[in-house]
Amino acid sequence: MMPESDYVVELEGVRKVYRGGIEALAGISLKVPRGCLYGLLGPNGAGKSTLVKILTTLIRRTGGGGTMLGCPIGDRRALQRIGLLPEHARFPDYLTGRQVIEFAAGLQDVGVSETRERTGRLLDLVGMSRAADRKVRGYSKGMKQRIGIAQALVNDPEIVFLDEPTDGVDPAGRRDFRLLMKQLREEGRTVFINTHILSELEPIVDRVAIISQGRLLGEGQLDDLRTEKPVYRIEFEGQLPSELVAVLQAEGGEISPGFVAMETSRVGDIQVLIDRLRAAQIVISGIQRKAQSLEDLFMGLVDSPVNRSRSSSPSVPTPSIPK
């Protein structure tokens, strides 16, 4: 084992070429800090599930390497310390929800009394206590996903991999899911989520990696990835005297009826506008900040000419060209 670092996953140039020549990953390098909520985003077929399957040793990489929890990628010893909700997870439908969790505990060598205690707690955590003793066969899609998340946590994992966890989950369930993700992070776990539902992740995620056609297009904290500055809107009551309008414009404010707007990444810039408004006895009724959404960011990267040219330029191999 190698010494453990602040990163639970470190990848360098990870490649995957499936049998038949499909290049699903074309060299992915990234680091996942311990204790963060990490979002792996990308359109259908980008390679998200492939990457998670490599990390969880379900498939082997073709090239590159790295470590997870100090073990080389592909080393099964790390599996005891991670949890996984696979894509399109299917559990034996003759088992009850409780039995699915107990079965996962058995596979992970969790002791009998611990299993009993944890199963009860996890069923509660995912809101499935009442349906715990019904067979999976009779569960809705969202109920199956909830049990899937619970079974991924039964070994008290340091990293939880969730591949499209909110697939089929209703709006209330999605809100519960966001709260649950925050709770897992507060417990010190690293949560790694694959998704293409961006709005879901935006309010909770610490870092994102955006991939398309097996390539990393961007990685980092949302604020650092944003290419546009946030827009602040200072709402006021009444009319502004014309001298004040001139002063605010000179400070960089754009005046509209009822609000002054400013595009800036420094919150200090808007304090000047607030000071000028207050000095003129203007009542401020609200302040809003609107940042570039994750969806805008995503579309900007995935639709960029550089990324699109990969699929049309004959000089660059595309994932569909057999090697």
Ligand X SMILES: Nc1ncnc2c1ncn2[C@@H]1O[C@H](COP(=O)(O)OP(=O)(O)OP(=O)(O)O)[C@@H](O)[C@H]1O
Contacts with Mg ion, residue ranges (CB under 5 A): 48-49, 87
Query: Is 50 one of the binding residues for ligand X (CB under 6 A)?
Result: yes
Q: Which of 17, 24, 143, 270 binds ligand X (CB under 6 A)?
A: 24
State yes or no: residue 281 binds ligand X (CB under 6 A). no
- Interface with ligand X, residue 142, by CB under 6 A: no
Does 88 bind ligand X (CB under 6 A)? Our answer is: no
C-alpha to C-alpha distance for 229 and 265, rounded to whole angstroms: 5
Cα gap 139→90, rounded to integer Å: 12
- Work out which of 81, 134, 135, 196 binds ligand X, going by CB under 6 A: 196
44 touching ligand X, by CB under 6 A = yes
Looking from the CA of 139 toward its CB, the CA atoms found within 13 Å total 29
Examine residue 39 and tell whether it contacts ligand X (CB under 6 A): no
Helix (H, G, I), strand (E, B) or coil at 192: strand
Is 28:199 a contact under the CB 8 Å cutoff? no
Between 88 and 130, CB nearer to ligand X? 88
Q: What minimum distance in Å lies between the beta carbon of 194 and ligand X?
A: 6
CB of 77 to ligand X, least distance (A): 25
Tokens of 107: 């596979």
Give the count of beta carbons closer than 10 Å to the beta carbon of residue 225: 20
Give 190's strand partners. Answer: 159
Instruction: Verify binding: residue 14, ligand X, rule CB under 6 A.
Output: no
Specify the pairing of strand 23-33 against strand 7-17.
antiparallel
Q: Which does 253 bind (CB under 5 to 8 A by kind): ligand X, Mg ion, none?
A: none
Alpha carbon distance 231, 126 (integer Å): 37
Q: Using CB under 6 A, which of 12, 13, 22, 255 touches ligand X? A: 22
Please give the backbone phi and psi of residue 139, each rounded to the nearest 5 degrees, phi first. Answer: -80, 150
Choose the stretch contacting ligand X; rule: CB under 6 A; options: 46-54, 123-131, 244-252, 254-262.
Answer: 46-54
Q: How far is the CB of 38 from ligand X (least distance, A)?
A: 15
